[in-house]
A and B are shown apart, each in its own frame.
Chain A
Amino acid sequence: MAILRPAGDYDRSYRQDKRYIRKPWQWVILFASIGVVATCPYWGTPYIITTANRIGYTIIAVQGLNILTGYTGQISLGQAAFMLVGGYVSTLVVTHLGLSMFLALPIAAVGAGIVGLIFGLPSLRVKGFYLAMATLAAQFIIPWLTKHTFPEFLGGTEGRIATPVPQIGSFLFNEPARFIYITLGVLIITTFIAANITRTRLGRAFVAIRDNDLAAELLGVNLFGYKLRAFFIAAMYAGLAGALKAHYQRAIGTEFGYSLTESIVLLGMLVVGGLGTNIGPFLGATFIIVMQDVSNVVGSNFAAIMPHEMTARLLTSFRPIFFGLILMFFLIFEPRGLAHRWQLFKAAWRLRPFSH
């Protein structure tokens, strides 16, 4: 999204032109925000620390979806299933091969990526809505496979196994306050990669496919190859996110939030944050997760004042209502998401107090 820069703000070299971080205050914000998250075990309440972890690994999954859906324009309803694959691969590698969790993470990413490739194969023949259906199939077939195949490894119909606690030497990452450093480290790396992918040949090809696939093909972009690459990268990100989630929750199984609803929520986060922007996944995942917790609070408060027999239904019902309303509201009134709002806000702030 090209943002018009004010007069007098221009680059003097290619080095400058390529920069992501252009102003000193942007460096300040970057390090301040990393610092805030890194020190939150010391000042944060347990709620803040656990939420920071949840937001962290969710952002990674949304970043992957952003590359596939936001940049390449392919709809995926199976991101949560690929997270499940990543979680299982990482758990199995750590449990049965005895590798460290930090070696298992890339393996999980590649494992999930390969599964993503398989379900990306229909993109050879179909696109748009039909492709969404193919990924929907992934969302059902993968959890089924984890339940009904290799019961000695995958936990059988119960479909859950324990995930070991990651450790370096004798230091155990056994509580959210410690795990946050793993989440933060991986998130920084994935953000760096995601931001750079979009400026390489690969990323340009993705955007070309999204904007007009026929034109892209005429320009020499191998549609099928690049779509598969997008699927691979998206599933890799999902795999990483799933592995982190599994190690954080210390268990992996179909019941820990890898359902179709979760995939839809990830897509919703992407849209609320802003499709095809680097900051979108951050804004969207944070916003939706915070709103989920707000909806839980609203639900429990309503439950307290309503008659007793209403309690059970009120506690669980507000989350889908909030999510549905937020998603519909954004789609109608701000389809470019919070990222666009942020740009508008910055532009307005620059011109303050004048409106033009």
Chain B
Amino acid sequence: MNWVLVPQAIITGILNGSVIGLIALGVVLIYKSSEIFNFSQGHLLMLGAFVTWWFAGASEDGNEIFNFPLGLAVLAAFLVALLIGFLIERIALRPMTGQPLLSIILMTLGLAQLIEGLVSIFFGIQPKSNFPAPIARTETFKIPFAFAFQGNIFIKKLLVIAFLVAVFGMILIVIFFKFSRVGLSMRATAEDHELARSIGINVPRIFGLSWAIAGIVATAGGVLLAMLTGASLSLSTVVLVAFPAILLGGLESLPGAIVGGIAVGLAQELVSTAKLIEIRNSSEIAPYVLLLIVLIIRPEGLFGQKRIERI
């Protein structure tokens, strides 16, 4: 390892990891209430980023319909995500109730393909580098730190904003699940559908709500990522990094998703400080190596419940 690069890597890793954690939260949300593992979360995220971009009027070809400031555009995109979440649950996932796992996984995969195609028709396949951001992408904080490379740690200001927003979102979600009526009924539904029904919870409505909320969370993650890198179709692949985070933290654990996300972010950054070029290049697969290790050593994850079926 290049030790001088490590402090920088740790800071960047934690900041990146928080965004991954937020994305992972969206998947865990749906899984907790309906036991559906949503492979299309990445595409919802990409959709959210593109919708925000569109509402912000950034296409700049003269005939944009909306020209909202970023905050308003994000709110509008949240509304769209809410509707799309409800719609997906109603049209695609409701008929799959009681179907085997493979069918449900394939349904979300098919959904992902569909969303990808639709997004590329409506918004085009070119990456949008002009995604509105509150401050310029190049602005950085410079923190003097004796052991770091050239005595300084550089942090992108946008990354810090993303971190703060992600943490705020996570706190909001945890509060929602701990104290709000809907959140509590979601947890009850996750525990046992029939019991939840018997105390008067409208279970299909809860499923729909959890998809809607997951859509909003995905949009938030998408906006944060798009602020950093610009909106593009490849945003959807980010969620593939969130999957290892989810398994690492435990499939049903909200704090687990956050910790897993940070761990994956750290792993990616730390790997790229290695001296060997082969290891340095492996930052894109580091999450998956981590995933395989977790699956073999501790399949239920760090915070997961131990009711995973062992063989």
Contact = CB atoms under 8 A, between A and B. Distances in A.
Do A and B belong to a common assembly?
Answer: yes
Interface of A: 69, 73, 75, 121-130, 132-134, 136-137, 140-141, 144, 148-149, 213, 223-224, 260-261, 264, 267-268, 271, 275, 312-314, 316-328, 331-332, 335
A316 B120 CA distance: 8
27 contacts: A75-B101, A122-B292, A122-B295, A126-B311, A133-B244, A134-B292, A134-B295, A136-B240, A137-B288, A137-B289, A141-B289, A144-B284, A144-B285, A148-B278, A148-B282, A261-B113, A267-B109, A268-B106, A312-B124, A317-B117, A321-B114, A322-B117, A324-B111, A325-B110, A325-B114, A332-B95, A335-B99
Contacts of A123: 311
Interface in B297-311: 299, 308-311
Contacts of A271: 102-103, 106
Nearest to A213: B311
Contacts of B131: none
B118 interface: yes
A324 B110 contact: yes
Contact of B120 (A126, A127, A128, A313): A313
Given A137-B292, A140-B288, A223-B311, A319 B240 contact: no
Most chain A beta carbons < 10 A, residue from B107, B109, B240, B288 = B109
B112 A324 contact: yes
B279 to A, nearest CB: 10
A313 B125 contact: yes
B284 A140 contact: yes
Q: How big is the B interface, by class?
A: 35 or more
A316 B295 CA distance: 37
A124 B118 CA distance: 40
Contact of B295 (A125, A128, A213, A322): A125
A331 B311 CA distance: 28
A321 B106 contact: no
Nearest to A137: B288
Interface string B104-130: 011101111111111011001100000
Contacts of B311: 123-127, 213, 223-224
Contacts of A136: 240, 243, 288
A321 B117 contact: yes
B227 to A, nearest CB: 24
A75 B111 CA distance: 18
Contacts of B113: 261, 264, 320-321, 323-324, 327
B154 to A, nearest CB: 27
Contact of A121 (B102, B107, B110, B296): B296
Interface string B73-116: 00000000000000000001001100101110111011111111
B177 interface: no
A144 B282 contact: yes
B114 A129 contact: no
A319 B295 contact: no
Nearest to B278: A148
A155 to B, nearest CB: 15
Contacts of A130: 247, 295, 299, 308
Contacts of B99: 331, 335
A136 to B, nearest CB: 7
Contacts of A133: 243-244, 247, 291, 295
Contacts of B284: 140, 144
Given A128-B309, A268-B106, A323-B110, 9 more contacts: A122-B292, A130-B295, A144-B282, A223-B311, A271-B102, A271-B103, A271-B106, A275-B102, A321-B113
